[in-house]
Amino acid sequence: MMNTVLVLNGPNLNLLGVREPEIYGRTTLADIEEMCSISAAEAGLGIRCVQSNHEGGLIDAVHEARETTVGAVINAGAYTHTSLALHDALKSYDHPIIEVHLSNPHARESFRHHSYLSPVAAAVIAGAGARGYVHAIEILAEKLRRTDSAE
């Protein structure tokens, strides 16, 4: 389906709801995916959700999405701060990317301040909790509408 958005989540995000809830909140990944699905449907988009605890799994998901999706919302978890390989994979993804973080990494430890994703992202949403994913879908939908009307 060519109006599909990839919603990609990285390591440990499968534990949302129980993992450090004081930082990441009590909303589960399933809840977030449902929120994304509703928000996407309102904009006439579908979503494909992938979560992997493995760097290669995330890269494979990006490769698979190259020809089958129109944009991506990505929270790469800790790979945000370490993965040059994911950065390179995303450079080969020729659609808008919105980087999302539930927490604000810039207000946390210094090792979270650098992102390998930000240079390839059209927008970055951090610190808005689970709502950040909904905003990301909305921003992506708006960018896609603008691209369509420019064609």
Residues at the site binding ligand DQA, with contacts judged by CB under 6 A: 12, 75, 77-78, 80, 101-103, 105, 112
Q: Which has the closest alpha carbon to 133: 72, 81, 80, 58?
A: 72
Residue 70 phi, psi dihedral angles, 5° rounding: -110, -5
Q: Which residue number, 48 or 112, has a Cβ lying nearer to ligand DQA?
A: 112
101 in catalytic set: yes
Distance CA 88, CA 71 (A): 16
Q: Which residue number, 52 or 70, has a Cβ lying nearer to ligand DQA?
A: 52
Q: Which residue number, 77 or 96, has a Cβ lying nearer to ligand DQA?
A: 77
CB of 148 to ligand DQA, least distance (A): 30
CB of 19 to ligand DQA, least distance (A): 8
The catalytic position among 79, 95, 101, 116 is 101
Q: Which has the closest alpha carbon to 53: 112, 8, 106?
A: 8
24 in catalytic set: yes
CB of 42 to ligand DQA, least distance (A): 23
Task: Locate 10 and state its tokens.
Answer: 């990285």
CB of 21 to ligand DQA, least distance (A): 13
Q: Which has the closest alpha carbon to 132: 14, 25, 15?
A: 25
Q: Which residue number, 69 or 75, has a Cβ lying nearer to ligand DQA?
A: 75
Q: Which residue has the tokens 């579908």?
A: 46
**Dihedral over Cα of 90, 94, 100, 104: its sign:** positive
Per DSSP bridges, beta strands 4-9 and 71-75 are parallel
Q: Which residues are catalytic?
A: 24, 101
